[in-house]
């Protein structure tokens, strides 16, 4: 009987198809709004999903991760069942996605009172994921910003900016074609704070990494979701928070540090979603 590949204690390597089959067993505890599918699959659709589900199951059977029982039924191996069980017990989760100089990093964590199941994408094209079963006390492994330029302190006391979400998205989409002065001018049309506008424009124009955080809280029936984005360059980080309501167009851009963002993730393991919203 073959066994799962492993990089260390409590770690297993799964293909995208295998992981897709595993998370399909979570039922309502799977992430909402297609977030789980987006994390695992390069493309999606009912026909594609059904084929991937079947191929993932067959791969797990061939590896001995799903085993035939004496009753003729198939049973999940103990190590894989442990992962699924801890995910079903989770009352919080978060997804971290960011890009550094064109390189993408993604991870998803399910968090219960005692355990963390961490799923780290080793490469979307390769379709490989490292799944790690962690004790909740292993705090130093709760978050990761590998490869980012970590600005641990804010340069000065710049105020946060209140902006239009739709206008900001349009400005960012055109940023590489605009001169820095034009970028500042467009941002100035949405706010009056010129010092912060200059700093934000420079960060947008010369950003080295950007990403997003999605926080999930289980309310006994479904997941409540909150999200923030961040961008940074070699000098500064900005945290971008928008309304979760489609009919609201506001966005708040706040100068911050990667240390503060990391602290936000650490706190998420012990705070309610309301607390996180107040912090952000």
Q: What digits encode the pLDDT tens for the residues 31-67?
A: 998 899 999 987 666 677 889 999 999 999 999 899 8
Both 130 and 168 in one domain: the answer is no
Both 127 and 201 in one domain: the answer is no
Cα separation, 197 vs 171, whole angstroms: 13
In a domain, 53, yes or no: yes
Instruction: Please report the pLDDT score of residue 62 as a whole number.
Output: 93
Q: What domain range includes position 80?
A: 11-141
Mean pLDDT of 78-100: 92
Cβ atoms of 213 and 261 within 8 Å: the answer is yes
Domain count, the chain: 2
Domain end position, chosen among 141, 173, 200: 141
In a domain, 3, yes or no: no
Both 88 and 179 in one domain: the answer is no
Both 121 and 238 in one domain: the answer is no
Asked whether residue 21 carries a pLDDT value surpassing 50, the answer given is yes
Asked whether residue 279 carries a pLDDT value surpassing 60, the answer given is no
Both 73 and 177 in one domain: the answer is no
Both 187 and 271 in one domain: the answer is yes
pTM of the model: 0.83
In a domain, 126, yes or no: yes
Assigned token pair, 177: 């074609």
Both 166 and 128 in one domain: the answer is no
Q: pLDDT for 211-248, tens place per residue?
A: 999 999 999 889 999 889 999 888 888 999 988 777 88
Both 226 and 259 in one domain: the answer is yes
Both 129 and 165 in one domain: the answer is no
Cβ atoms of 229 and 163 within 8 Å: the answer is no
- Above pLDDT 90, what percent of the chain? 46
Domain end position, chosen among 95, 110, 141: 141
Instruction: Please report the pLDDT score of residue 194 as a whole number.
Output: 87
Mean pLDDT of 66-92: 88
Asked whether residue 145 carries a pLDDT value surpassing 70, the answer given is no
Both 133 and 71 in one domain: the answer is yes
Q: pLDDT for 177-210, tens place per residue?
A: 999 999 999 888 877 788 899 999 999 998 888 8
Both 136 and 29 in one domain: the answer is yes
Q: pLDDT for 165-180, tens place per residue?
A: 999 999 999 998 999 9
Adjacency order of strands within the sheet including 237-242: 11-15, 128-135, 115-123, 103-111, 92-100, 209-218, 223-232, 237-242, 250-256, 161-164
* Closest listed residue to residue 113, CA positions, set 193, 16, 42, 218: 218
In a domain, 153, yes or no: no
Instruction: Please report the pLDDT score of residue 276 as a whole number.
Output: 42
Both 271 and 241 in one domain: the answer is yes
């Amino acid at each position: 009987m073959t066994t799962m590949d492993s990089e260390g204690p409590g770690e297993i390597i799964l293909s995208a198809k295998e992981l897709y089959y595993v998370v399909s067993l979570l039922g309502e505890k799977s992430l909402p709004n297609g977030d789980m599918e987006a994390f695992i699959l390069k493309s999606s659709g009912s026909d594609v999903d059904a084929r991937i589900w079947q191929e993932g199951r067959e791969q797990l059977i061939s590896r001995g991760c799903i085993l035939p029982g004496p009753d003729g039924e198939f049973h999940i191996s103990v190590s894989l069942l442990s992962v699924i069980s801890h995910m079903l017990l989770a009352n919080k989760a978060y997804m971290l996605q960011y890009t550094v100089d064109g390189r993408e990093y993604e991870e998803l964590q399910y968090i219960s009172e005692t355990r963390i199941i961490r799923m780290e994408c080793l490469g979307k094209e390769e379709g490989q994921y490292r799944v790690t079963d962690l004790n909740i006390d292993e705090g130093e492994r709760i978050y990761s910003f590998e490869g980012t330029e970590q600005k641990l302190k804010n340069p000065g006391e710049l105020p946060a900016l209140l902006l239009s979400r739709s206008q900001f998205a349009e400005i960012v989409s055109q940023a590489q074609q605009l001169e820095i002065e034009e970028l500042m001018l467009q941002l100035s049309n949405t706010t009056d704070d010129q010092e912060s506008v200059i700093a934000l424009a420079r960060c947008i124009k010369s950003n080295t990494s950007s990403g997003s955080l999605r926080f999930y809280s289980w309310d006994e029936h479904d997941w409540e979701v909150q999200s923030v984005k961040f961008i940074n360059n070699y000098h500064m980080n900005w945290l971008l928070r928008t309304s979760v309501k489609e009919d609201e167009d506001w966005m708040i851009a706040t100068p911050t540090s990667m240390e503060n963002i990391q602290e936000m993730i650490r706190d998420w393991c012990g705070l309610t979603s309301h607390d996180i919203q107040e912090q952000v």
